[in-house]
Amino acid sequence: MEPESRNYGRLLWAMALATVIGGGLTVLAEHSFSSPAAALAAAPADLGATASGEPIFAEFAAPGQEPTVYRLPPGSDVHLLLRAVGRNDARPPQANRRLRSGERVVLHGDGTLSFGVMDGARLLALGLRIPLNQAGPEDLVVLPGIGDRLAMKILNFRDKSGGIASYDDLLWVPGLGPGALEVLKRHTSLW
């Protein structure tokens, strides 16, 4: 196999894996601009230290519409996501709220928005970390070496202690060994 066709094969394999892990077809739509200057003009002016230069992956859902993941420029806000999905008519009070990669934004029928986090499998498929302080058991069990019982122990510990401030806190979880702790450090965040 030629090196170039091997790369295409890897890309196709990764896309298939992302579809299977995500539990269904995830459409990854990239918001496009006519030029880099247009992208910067559309982004908030105060990017500052919070913009890492990494694109933002945000999931958008609305009534009667399949949730879709959008790739947006660093520092994007809700208003830019609404423009990307063609909902320029929506003017929620949170329009200037900055998005975080991995966020789920739901536009309800009454025009209000709610915010959450994408499911763990989708986050992993996109190469994003699962926010440990917001995860459910279904999010943690997609991690290698984390089964149902260990996921529940981690979440029970988190809930009893009021959140996880440091990965060292997890050393108190019964049955959590060094291997599982390394997996958590590699694939989760304390967001």
Sort 105 into a burial class: Cβ within 10 Å, 0-12 / 13-18 / 19+: buried
Q: From CA 89, how far away is CA 48, in angstroms rounded?
A: 29
Give the dihedral sign, CA 83/85/89/91: negative
Q: Which two tokens stand for residue 163?
A: 């959140």
Sort 71 into a burial class: Cβ within 10 Å, 0-12 / 13-18 / 19+: middle
Q: From CA 105, how far away is CA 118, in angstroms rounded?
A: 9
Contacts of residue 15, defined as CB under 8 A and 6 or more positions apart, other chains included, come to none
Structural domains for the chain: 3-122 (no CATH), 129-189 (1.10.150.320)
Amino acid at 22: G
Q: Which two tokens stand for residue 109?
A: 């029928």
Instruction: Summarize the confidence of residues 1-20 as an average pLDDT.
Output: 43
pLDDT of residue 95: 86
The model's pLDDT over 93-114, given as tens digits with 9 standing for 90+, comes to: 888 999 999 999 999 988 889 9
Q: Which of 9-13, 161-165, 171-175 has the lowest mean pLDDT?
A: 9-13
Q: Which of 90-94, 96-100, 128-132 has the lowest mean pLDDT?
A: 90-94
Whether 10 has a pLDDT exceeding 70, the answer reads no
In whole angstroms, how far apart are CA 111 and each of 106, 107, 108, 151? 10, 6, 5, 36
The model's pLDDT over 16-32, given as tens digits with 9 standing for 90+, comes to: 444 434 433 333 444 44
